[in-house]
Amino acid sequence: MSEPVLEPTTDRGRATRQALLDAAEEVFGLVGYNDASIGEITRRADVAQGTFYVYFPDKRAAFSEVVRQVNRKVRHASTLGTEGAVTRMDAEKGGFRAFFDYIEAHPSIYRIVRDAEFVAPEAAGAHYEAWARPYAAALREAQESGEFADGIDPDLLAHLLMGLSEFFGQRLPRWESLGREESIDQLLLFVERALTADDPRSHTVKRVMNQGDNK
């Protein structure tokens, strides 16, 4: 006697469902999973409270889907930032910046991503894994080509970089004294050093040293 909660068949149904999903994203982002109430969601979606349960079996299921939706968007935005890059390091920088731009424009998704870890771990996990796979592959390539230093498992590396970007992205405002751009630059410098095991700010100097050494 299980409930069905089917995919909608009509356009009207699909529209309502999406309206609910969007409203849910808003509310979850604003007040977090626990304080989000179905009532507030349906109010914003302009439907009756019961309608929620036409499309989602319960609050968690809706949240889980919101998480997937949000992650899809984030990933998309980040990926856009990597396009056109020549070196892998440039791709990294572009990806990081695009991610920061996106998260700054949609600050509430942070809350969703955080809650996801406990409320919808399956969705959260899937997101990280889905992201990590191609990311790690790209990193491995860069290691093999010599652009990046090796000695660190690419999968681990991918997670470290995701963690850094998330952590930093969520705290960007903290460094307003340093300035948004400057703090991003410094973060990227940190990342570059870690990846290349080399100080880009003293390239010329080192090169000279190295040349001397090589003799």
What is the full DSSP assignment across 134-195? HHHHHHHHHHHTTSS--SS-HHHHHHHHHHHHHHHHHHGGGGTTT-HHHHHHHHHHHHHHHH
E runs forming strands in the chain: none
Question: With CB cut-offs between 5 and 8 Å by kind, which of a second copy, DNA, none does residue 16 bind?
Answer: DNA
> Binding segment for a second copy among 10-18, 57-65, 76-84, 207-215 (CB under 8 A)?
207-215
What type of residue sits at position 22? Answer: D
Question: With CB cut-offs between 5 and 8 Å by kind, which of a second copy, DNA, none does residue 38 bind?
Answer: DNA
Question: With CB cut-offs between 5 and 8 Å by kind, which of DNA, a second copy, none does residue 49 bind?
Answer: DNA
d(CA 161, CA 165): 6
Q: What residues between 176 and 195 interact with a second copy by CB under 8 A?
A: 178, 183, 186-187, 189-191, 193-195
Which has the closest alpha carbon to 57: 3, 124, 122? 3
Q: Which of 46, 117, 122, 141 binds a second copy (CB under 8 A)?
A: 117
Q: Is 63 in the site for a second copy (CB under 8 A)?
A: no
Question: With CB cut-offs between 5 and 8 Å by kind, which of DNA, a second copy, none does residue 168 bind?
Answer: a second copy
Q: Is 199 in the site for a second copy (CB under 8 A)?
A: yes
Q: Which of 1, 11, 50, 211 binds a second copy (CB under 8 A)?
A: 1
d(CA 107, CA 29): 8
Q: Which residues contact 180 (CB under 8 A, 6 or more apart)?
A: 172
* DSSP H or E segment with residue 109: helix 109-119
Contact residues: a second copy, CB under 8 A:
1, 3-4, 31-32, 34, 37, 39-40, 43, 111, 114, 117-118, 149, 151-153, 155-157, 159-160, 163-164, 166-168, 171, 174-175, 178, 183, 186-187, 189-191, 193-199, 201-202, 209, 212-213
